[in-house]
Amino acid sequence: MKFVEEFKAFAMRGNVMDMAVGVVIGGAFGKIVTALVDNILMPTIGLFTGGLDLTNALTVRVRDVEIQFGAFTQAVIDFLIIAFCIFMMIKFVNKMSKKKEEEEPEPEAAPEPSAEEKLLTEIRDLLKEQK
**Predicted confidence band at 12 (pLDDT cuts at 50, 70, 90)?**
confident
Contact (Cβ atoms closer than 8 angstroms) between residue 53 and residue 45: no
Query: Would you state the pLDDT for residue 31?
Result: 86
How does pLDDT run across 64-90, given as a tens digit for each residue? 888 888 888 878 887 888 788 788 888
- Whether the full predicted model's pTM is greater than 0.75, yes or no, is no
Q: What are the distances in angstroms from CA 60 to CA 24, 71, 78, 90, 99? A: 35, 12, 22, 39, 52
* Domain range list for the chain: 2-130
Query: Would you state the pLDDT for residue 14?
Result: 66
Q: Which residue has the higher pLDDT, 58 or 114?
A: 114
For the chain, what is the mean pLDDT?
A: 80
Task: For the domain made up of 2-130, give the CATH fold.
Answer: 1.10.1200
**Predicted confidence band at 22 (pLDDT cuts at 50, 70, 90)?**
confident
Residues 6+ apart with CB under 8 A from 73: 54, 58
How does pLDDT run across 42-67, given as a tens digit for each residue? 778 778 877 766 677 778 888 888 88
